[in-house]
Structure formats: structure tokens, C-alpha cells
């Protein structure tokens, strides 16, 4: 479904991703594990054209997305959940954040918009009472729910999650990731979950890839990766 082929990205003269190839299928969760500075965020940003790739390809069912725009990626159904609750407007209300996140391809149809908002509130009922509050006034956990609801508006086909465990309680991390797994199983959502916390990622991943200083050094089905092997990867 989503294919990343020989993707290379540099900041100035420094190459931070070197011919990275990865793919994720419908209904599949791929965990990408790697240390600080391995290039995890850069990888996700390049998929939605927030950073420019030097070479390589990114295809969603044959449509080229490489070096297009975040909007093109969103319209094609690829959404990024940035790390640490970024990607929401903290001075705007929760409801406004959801409205703004509605993809243009769904038009200005009010009924459709309400339907999409209702869908997000079914997933995160805690947000129901918070709709009129500025997103920035919510707790970290609630802000992460808003960020995830924003990313889910318009029902993406591919969700990219950048270290969703940072700053959240283990309970909430579990809840968010269970939701990703449920959407993968029930709606065929494909997800790339970037994490430093391997234990968190392995709980829901089908496959695991290890990224070390810009290169994929290993890929395996999640069930075949033992704790010792994980230590070896790093
Ligand atoms: N805008 C930028 N300009 C220059 N260098 C950058 C920029 N963004 C990231 N880098 C560098 O590129 C490398 C990869 O960064 P990236 O943020 O992709 O890593 P990461 O795996 O997400 O790390 P972390 O676990 O800390 O989030 C790092 O060495 C970082 O310092
Ligand atoms: Mg990062």
C-alpha cells in the first residue's frame, strides 16, 4: 500500500537517511525503532513532504507522494501524528481543531463534517465535555487525544505516529495504541509507529524495523523479535 523506496534525506551536507526502503500493507502496523537522532522523525516527515527527499520514491497505491506537499499527502489519506502533541492549535477550541482537520476532498458538507466529528468522539468520548475549551488548556493526555482525533478526521488510510508514548502515562499510551490496532483490524488502517520504547511498540506491531543512523539494519515479524535481539539491534 505505502512503499518507501531508497529514500535519502540530507540536512545541508549531512545525510540523515540513506536509501531507506520500507513498506506497510493495509491493516498492518509497522514499528520503526531507533535511538535519538537515528532519523525516525525525518523519515515520517519526508513521507508527508514536510522535509525534502534528495532521492528515492514514496508511493501510495502507485501514486507518487515524494516531494509533493503535506496537503497532497493528507488528501491521499496519509496523516502524521507529530510527537509531543504538536499539530494542534492550542488557542483554538477542540471543536475548531477537529473542523480545521477535515480534508478538503470531503467538501464543505456540514452533515459529513458532523458525522466525522461524531466518529472521533466515539473513539475518544473524554473529549465530548471539552469541545468548547481551548485545546491548550487540556492535560497532556487529552491533548494527545485531540491530536490523534485530528489525525483521524477524514479516516486516513495510513497513519504515521511519531513517538506517541512521550509524555503520556502508560495507561493512556496503551489506550491510544489499542485504538490504532483496533482501526487496523477493523478498517484496514496501515500504521507506521516510530518509537524509542520498543516494549510499547511491540505490543501492537506486526513487523519491526530497526533504524540506525539513517539506515534500516534489520526487519522482522514482531513475533520473532526477542528482548535479547532488541538489545542487539542497538
Ligand atoms: N531541521 C534540521 N536541520 C538540521 N539537522 C537536523 C534537522 N532535524 C533533524 N536534524 C538532525 O538529523 C538527525 C536525525 O534527526 P531526527 O529528528 O530525524 O531523529 P529521531 O530519530 O527522530 O530522533 P529523536 O529520537 O531524538 O526524536 C539528527 O542528528 C538531528 O540532529
Ligand atoms: Mg524524533
Identify the residue whose C-alpha is closest to ligand 1 atom 6: 11
- In degrees, to the nearest 5, what angle opens at C-alpha 177 toward C-alphas 218 and 66? 55
Task: Read off the pLDDT band of 220 (50, 70, 90).
Answer: confident
pLDDT band at residue 106 using 50, 70 and 90 as cut-offs? confident
For residues 165 and 85, is the Cβ–Cβ distance under 8 A?
no
Q: pLDDT: is 80 or 227 the higher one?
A: 80
Pair type for strands 207-212 and 29-33: parallel
CB of 153 within 8 A of CB of 101?
Answer: yes
The residue contributing the CA closest to ligand 1 atom 17 is: 41
For atom 5 of ligand 1, the residue with the nearest CA is 11
pLDDT tier for residue 203 given thresholds of 50, 70 and 90 = confident
Query: 125 CA to middle of ligand 2, Å?
Result: 29
Q: Which residue has the least CA distance to atom 4 on ligand 1? A: 11
Q: How confident is the model at residue 104 (pLDDT cuts 50, 70, 90)?
A: confident
Ligand 1 atom closest to Cα of residue 35: 25
Interval between CA 44 and ligand 1 midpoint (Å): 11
Pocket of ligand 1 (CB under 6 A): 11, 16, 34, 36-42, 196
Using one digit for the tens of pLDDT, what is the confidence trace for 134-164?
Answer: 999 999 889 989 999 999 988 899 999 999 8
The CA-atom distances, in angstroms, between 35 and each of 13, 71, 75, 194, 234 are 22, 29, 31, 10, 8
Q: Which CATH class is domain 2-233?
A: alpha beta
Report pLDDT for 8.
97
How far, in Å, from the CA of 36 to the mean position of ligand 2? Answer: 7
Q: In this structure, which residue's CA is closest to atom 31 in ligand 1? A: 37
The domains of the chain are located at: 2-233
- Going by DSSP bridges, is the β-strand pair 2-11/14-24 parallel, antiparallel, or unpaired? antiparallel
Q: What is the pLDDT of residues 10-50, one digit of tens each?
A: 999 999 999 999 999 999 999 999 888 999 999 999 999 99
Confidence of residue 85 (pLDDT cuts 50, 70, 90): low
Which residue's CA lies nearest to atom 13 of ligand 1?
A: 37
Cα–Cα distance, 127 to 150 (Å, whole number): 12
Ligand 1 nearest-atom number relative to CA 12 = 4
Query: Contacts by 132-135 with C-beta closer than 8 Å and gap 24+?
Result: 132/93, 132/94, 132/95, 133/93, 133/94, 134/90, 134/91, 134/92, 134/93, 135/88, 135/89, 135/90, 135/91, 135/92, 135/93, 135/94, 135/97
Q: Summarize the confidence of residues 106-117 as an average pLDDT.
A: 82
Atom of ligand 1 nearest to the CA of 11: 4
Q: What is the pLDDT of residue 227?
A: 66
User: Tell me, what's the pLDDT at 95?
Assistant: 95
- Compute the distance from residue 37 Cα to the ligand 1 centre, in Å: 5
For residue 141, the model assigns a pLDDT of 87
Q: Which string of DSSP letters, residue by residue, matches 35-100?
A: -TTSSHHHHHHHHTTSS--SEEEEEETTEE-TTS-HHHHHHHTEEEE-STTTTS-TTSBHHHHHHH
Q: Which residues have CB atoms below 5 A from the ion given as ligand 2?
A: 40-41
Amino acid at each position: 500500500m505505502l512503499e518507501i523506496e531508497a529514500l535519502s534525506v540530507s540536512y545541508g551536507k549531512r545525510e540523515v537517511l540513506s536509501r531507506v526502503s520500507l513498506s506497510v500493507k493495509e491493516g498492518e502496523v509497522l514499528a520503526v525503532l531507533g535511538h535519538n537522532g537515528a532519523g525516525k522523525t525525518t523519515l515520517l516527515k519526508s513521507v508527508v513532504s514536510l522535509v525534502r527527499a534528495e532521492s528515492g520514491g514514496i508511493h501510495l497505491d502507485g501514486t507518487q507522494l515524494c516531494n509533493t506537499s503535506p496537503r497532497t499527502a493528507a488528501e491521499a489519506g496519509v496523516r502524521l501524528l507529530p510527537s509531543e502533541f504538536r499539530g494542534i492549535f492550542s488557542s483554538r477550541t477542540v471543536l475548531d481543531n477537529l473542523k480545521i482537520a477535515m480534508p478538503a476532498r470531503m467538501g464543505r458538507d456540514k452533515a459529513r463534517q458532523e458525522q466525522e466529528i461524531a466518529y472521533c468522539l466515539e473513539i475518544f468520548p473524554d473529549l465530548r465535555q471539552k469541545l468548547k475549551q481551548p485545546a491548550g488548556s487540556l492535560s497532556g493526555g487529552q491533548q494527545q487525544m485531540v491530536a490523534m482525533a485530528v489525525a483521524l478526521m477524514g479516516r486516513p488510510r495510513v497513519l504515521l505516529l511519531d513517538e506517541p508514548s512521550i509524555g503520556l502515562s502508560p495507561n493512556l499510551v496503551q489506550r491510544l495504541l489499542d485504538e490504532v490496532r483496533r482501526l487496523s483490524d477493523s478498517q484496514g488502517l496501515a500504521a507506521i509507529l516510530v518509537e524509542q520504547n520498543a516494549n510499547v511498540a511491540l505490543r501492537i506491531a506486526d513487523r519491526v524495523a530497526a533504524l540506525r543512523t539513517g539506515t534500516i539494519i534489520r526487519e522482522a515479524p514482531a513475533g520473532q523479535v526477542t528482548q535479547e535481539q532488541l538489545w542487539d539491534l542497538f
